[in-house]
């Protein structure tokens, strides 16, 4: 069977949930017994989001193979429960870099390199790699941004060509738009949707389905109108009203008949009747009123919650499984340094210090770790949060405030966190990063081993610095347990504080592997300690 493609474009405005819609449709097709993979095409010129500020772009999501990708890949992996690979995120930067390096090698034999066909061919080649590397029967491809952006034109042109290359029965276009609500007349407007469909048509793409996002219920008359003006079958106009439960979206789309429509259009048969019981139970659990526990998330990019998307989701997943509602209180670590925001930390039943780069706010995070250790408040340190928990203890044990990570103080007298000797030679920023999946051996009886309930695990990394082995003995004597190490024991992967209800730091990012129905064991263990601290629930 030829690979089937579903292309997602966005209209009207961005940030209305195109990524979640694609992820939810992926889940829906999986429930019908088909294998799916998802790819995001990002029109920016960076080669990957790794070098972008989280303020610009939100979290960088890391895959098994170490690819630094758009946060939508996190939605895809969580909703569909799949593992994606580096071909699943393509940027304009990657496409141009490849074409230009081929040109320099002389691969084009003296031709003039143009957007059409050279750039579009490279885009199509990369789309083709998804099915080749994952074996998926259906590949979902989401184009970032909205139709009308200059940057996305080559991507849309490539998709247009694919429809004629491989045929209508193998390709399907879903356009995700937004219906604004006019307060004065209390009505939803379809005009921006009509305009964006017209824009899409002007570049040769006719959408097969319109998913109309809205904050208000969408009447049948509006569906008629969109169907008529946008020349789409009425049953392919799917209103998607904002829900407070993200994981309800696949259920809503199934109810709207999206599954059967897509299968019919792509000439596919459902392999089995979808069984949504698990998802329905999940959504019911989210909706149920539950005792509230509070977690202070002490970070640096807290103004933009997207910067901690996976941490947020992992906390929510663990909370669902434990029957509690987790309230996440965002604390700016630089504020703590100025003696502000401490009441939020003090009112919380647990503290998370997530990953981060650069020195701003690190002292505040160290203070938060000290507070957690001294007051026996459950603490989960993720990457930087682990490194700073080590700095905190070492400062006390050595009675020296000059202890630091060399990331923040190159001339510190005690570099407890440092580059590994073999990394130092490599000056190129980014080149020294430890990225992707690495194995970790757990110490029997430790908090981490009890949480995982298995001796060996694999987790995703994204960092440059490591715990300095010269300080291991000293830290152990001070009460730190190295509960996870690399198989050769050279790298500390997990550190915890002995005799504390739960103070665990991981050099890796467990949040990337959490799933709504399969919460990450470390997040569950952390929240269990948080629940005990709050003295609620069972």
Catalytic residues: 383, 509, 511
What is the DSSP pairing of strand 292-299 with strand 350-353?
parallel
Closest residue to ligand GLN using C-beta atoms? 355
- The answer to whether residue 388 forms part of the interface with ligand GLN (CB under 6 A) is no
Please report whether residue 36 would count as binding ligand GLN according to CB under 6 A: no
Name the nearest CA neighbour of 120 among 88, 164, 70, 85. 164
Q: Minimal CA–CA distance to 283: which of 254, 250, 310? A: 250
Query: Cα dist. 490→226, 240, 421, 441 in Å?
Result: 61, 51, 12, 11
Binding test (CB under 6 A) with ligand GLN, winner from 248, 407, 493, 496: 407
Identify which range of 63-71, 215-223, 354-362, 495-503 contacts ligand GLN by CB under 6 A.
Answer: 354-362
For ligand GLN, the binding residues in 181-240 under the rule CB under 6 A are none
What is the chain's Cα-based Rg?
25
CB of 508 vs ligand GLN, minimal distance in Å: 9
Shortest Å, Cβ 387 to ligand GLN: 6
Helices (H), 375-479: 384-397, 421-424, 447-452, 472-477
418 binding ligand GLN? (CB under 6 A) = no
| Residue 296 CB, nearest approach to ligand GLN (Å) | 18
Interaction of residue 415 with ligand GLN, rule CB under 6 A: no
CA distance 47 to 193: 31
Contact between residue 301 and residue 55 where contact means Cβ atoms under 8 Å apart = yes
How big is the chain, counted in residues? 538
Q: Does 481 bind ligand GLN (CB under 6 A)?
A: no
What is the rounded end-to-end Cα distance, in angstroms, of the chain? 51
- State yes or no: residue 298 binds ligand GLN (CB under 6 A): no
Rank residues 294 and 462 by Cβ distance to ligand GLN and give the closer one. 462
Kindly list the strands in the beta sheet with 379-382, ordered across the sheet, starting from the edge strand earlier in the chain. Answer: 325-332, 292-299, 350-353, 379-382, 503-506, 492-497, 480-485, 434-442, 456-463
Q: Restricting to residues 357-386, name those near ligand GLN by CB under 6 A.
A: 357, 383-384
Nearer to ligand GLN, 313 or 407 (CB): 407
CA distance 394 to 374: 14
Backbone angles phi, psi at 293, to 5 degrees: -120, 150
For residue 310, which of 496, 502, 63 has the smallest C-alpha distance?
63
Q: Does 465 bind ligand GLN (CB under 6 A)?
A: yes
Please report how close the Cβ of residue 216 comes to ligand GLN at its closest, in angstroms: 40
> Binding to ligand GLN by residue 505, rule CB under 6 A?
no
Record the tokens describing residue 499, joined without a space: 């005799």
For residue 441, count CB atoms less than 10 angstroms from its CB and return exposed for 0-12, middle for 13-18, buried for 19 or more.
middle
Residue 355 binding ligand GLN, by CB under 6 A: yes
In the bound state with ligand GLN, the residue whose beta carbon lies nearer, of 286 and 302, is 302
Nearer to ligand GLN, 222 or 311 (CB): 311
Nearer Cβ to ligand GLN (62/84): 62
Give the nearer residue to ligand GLN in terms of CB position, either 16 or 467.
467
Distance from C-alpha of 515 to C-alpha of 237, rounded to nearest angstrom: 30
Residue 462 contacts ligand GLN per CB under 6 A: yes
- Phi/psi for 166 (5° steps) reads -115, 0
Would you say 18 or 463 has its CB closer to ligand GLN?
463
| Rounded-to-10 torsion of CA 313, 317, 323, 329 | -20
Q: By CB under 6 A, which span of 99-107, 293-301, 458-466, 479-487 interacts with ligand GLN?
A: 458-466
| Residue from 144, 259, 356, 484 binding ligand GLN (CB under 6 A) | 356
Select the span of 158-166, 172-180, 315-323, 349-357 touching ligand GLN (CB under 6 A). Answer: 349-357
We find the least distance from the C-beta atom of residue 163 to ligand GLN, in angstroms, to be: 40
DSSP E strand boundaries for 179-235: 181-182, 187-188, 209-214
Pull the structure tokens for residue 136. 């998926």
Stretch near ligand GLN under the rule CB under 6 A, chosen from 111-119, 195-203, 283-291, 352-360: 352-360
Q: How far is the CB of 16 from ligand GLN (least distance, A)?
A: 29
Secondary structure class of 417 (helix, strand, coil): strand
Q: Kindly list the residues in this chain that would bind ligand GLN in the complex (CB under 6 A).
A: 355-357, 383-384, 407, 462-465
């Amino acid at each position: 069977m030829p690979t089937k493609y579903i292309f997602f474009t966005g209209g009207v405005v961005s940030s209305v949930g195109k990524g979640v819609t694609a992820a939810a449709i992926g889940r829906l097709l999986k429930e019908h017994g088909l294998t799916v993979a998802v790819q995001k095409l990002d029109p920016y010129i960076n080669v990957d989001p790794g070098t972008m500020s989280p303020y610009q772009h939100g979290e960088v999501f890391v895959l098994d193979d170490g690819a630094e990708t758009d946060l939508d890949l996190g939605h895809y992996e969580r909703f569909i429960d799949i593992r994606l690979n580096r071909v699943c995120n393509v940027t304009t930067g990657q496409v141009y870099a490849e074409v230009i390096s081929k040109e320099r090698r002389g691969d084009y034999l003296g031709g003039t390199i143009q957007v059409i066909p050279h750039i579009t061919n490279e885009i199509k080649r990369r789309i083709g790699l998804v099915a080749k590397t994952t074996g998926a029967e259906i590949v979902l491809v989401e184009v970032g941004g909205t139709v009308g952006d200059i940057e996305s034109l080559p991507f849309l042109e490539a998709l247009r060509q694919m429809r004629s290359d491989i045929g209508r029965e193998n390709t399907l276009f879903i356009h995700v738009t937004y219906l604004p609500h006019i307060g004065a007349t209390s009505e939803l407007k379809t005009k921006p949707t009509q305009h964006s469909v017209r824009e899409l048509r002007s570049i040769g793409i006719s959408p097969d389905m319109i998913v109309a996002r809205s904050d208000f219920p969408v009447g049948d008359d509006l569906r008629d109108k969109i169907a008529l003006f946008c020349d789409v079958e009425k049953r392919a106009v799917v209103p998607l009203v904002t829900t407070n439960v993200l994981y309800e979206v696949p259920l809503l789309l199934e109810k709207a008949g999206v599954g059967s429509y897509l299968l019919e259009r792509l000439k596919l048969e459902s392999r089995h009747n979808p069984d949504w019981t698990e998802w329905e139970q999940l959504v019911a659990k989210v909706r149920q009123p539950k005792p509230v526990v509070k977690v202070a998330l002490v970070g640096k990019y807290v103004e933009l919650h997207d910067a901690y998307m996976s941490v947020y989701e992992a906390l929510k997943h663990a909370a669902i499984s434990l029957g509690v509602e987790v309230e996440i209180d965002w604390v700016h670590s630089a504020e703590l340094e100025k003696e502000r925001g401490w009441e939020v930390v003090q009112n919380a039943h647990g503290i998370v210090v997530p990953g981060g780069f650069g020195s701003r706010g690190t002292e505040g995070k160290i203070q938060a770790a000290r507070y957690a250790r001294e007051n026996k408040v459950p603490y989960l340190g993720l990457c930087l949060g682990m490194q700073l928990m080590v700095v905190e203890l070492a400062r006390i044990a050595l009675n020296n405030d000059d202890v630091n990570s060399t990331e923040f103080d190159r001339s510190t007298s005690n570099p407890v966190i440092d580059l590994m000797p073999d990394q130092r030679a490599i000056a190129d920023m980014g080149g020294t990063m430890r990225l992707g999946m690495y194995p970790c051996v757990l110490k029997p009886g430790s908090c981490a081993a009890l949480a995982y309930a298995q001796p060996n695990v694999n987790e995703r990394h994204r960092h440059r610095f490591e715990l300095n082995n010269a300080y291991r003995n000293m830290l152990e004597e001070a009460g730190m347990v190295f509960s996870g190490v690399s198989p050769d024991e050279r790298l500390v992967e997990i550190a915890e504080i002995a005799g504390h209800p739960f103070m665990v730091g991981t050099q890796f990012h467990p949040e990337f592997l959490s799933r709504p129905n399969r919460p990450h064991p470390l997040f569950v263990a952390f929240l269990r300690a948080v629940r005990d601290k709050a003295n609620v629930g069972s």
